Amino acid sequence: MRAGAVAQLLAFLDAWGRTWELIVVDDGSDDGTGDRVREVAAGRAAVRVVHTHHGGKAHALAQGLRAARGAIVLFSDMDQAIPIAEAAKLLPWFDRGFDVVIGSRGFERRHAAFSRRVISYAQLVARYGLLGFSDIVDTQCGFKAFRRDVVASLVSRLVVYREAIDARAEGPNLSAGFDVELLYLAARSGLRIKEVAIEVDHGRRGRQASVVRDCVRGLRDLLAIRAAARRGRYERP
């Protein structure tokens, strides 16, 4: 993790003019992430590091969401491929009554590799065909904000990713469908969801998309979500 990423986050939050907290989830990293965060944010009580084992994206996000104390919770990747300043486009929508506001790279994925565009199109078609869920173009963008009470309820009601977020064993759990299940459940719950176009620097992305692997994982998770829905497992108790 680059110390510069934390500095960017802090600069934005300091200028934002509202009460804030920054939670960095150290997902069993071996690059000194926790120490770097503490160095850059020395003396700031609003900055916290949550340590957990390497349980994968879904597990790490759940730990951060559960640790949040603010009324609005936003999660973002630390590579800052989506600059934190883009949050200024999302947050005002909560004042208009929305419960979930998500960043969107759009369908065209400007400047993205061709493989990412293929995955985007395949995911959209599969979501519509299996779940009838086509109102959101980009479910996978790692830049989402929620009312805290809302996201706490959604996480507690996940089915397919229940084991992933509660994982206690070492080793990453795959998470192709975590965002889809979260948003699918939000839509089924009648929550107001807003998708907002944002800018992305694809050159900062570390992992290159594998069309076959990512499509297989995504399809597997969509089928699992569909099966859970047919069994009524997303209905409120």
Alpha helix ranges (H) inside the chain: 3-16, 33-40, 57-67, 87-90, 114-131, 148-156, 162-165, 178-188, 211-230
Q: Rounded distance, CA 174 to CA 156, Å?
A: 19
**pLDDT string in tens for the chain (237-residue length):** 555 788 888 999 999 888 999 999 988 887 777 788 888 888 888 999 998 888 888 888 999 998 999 999 999 988 788 989 999 999 999 999 999 999 998 755 556 666 666 677 777 788 888 998 778 888 888 899 999 999 999 999 999 998 878 765 555 555 668 999 999 999 999 999 999 999 887 655 555 556 567 778 888 899 999 999 999 999 865
Backbone angles phi, psi at 79, to 5 degrees: -70, -10
Q: Rounded distance, CA 177 to CA 158, Å?
A: 11
Do the beta carbons of residue 74 and residue 169 sit within 8 Å? no
Do the beta carbons of residue 185 and residue 157 sit within 8 Å? yes
Sequence ranges of the domains in the chain: 72-230
Backbone angles phi, psi at 102, to 5 degrees: -120, 145
Mapped onto helix, strand or coil, the DSSP state of residue 207 is: coil
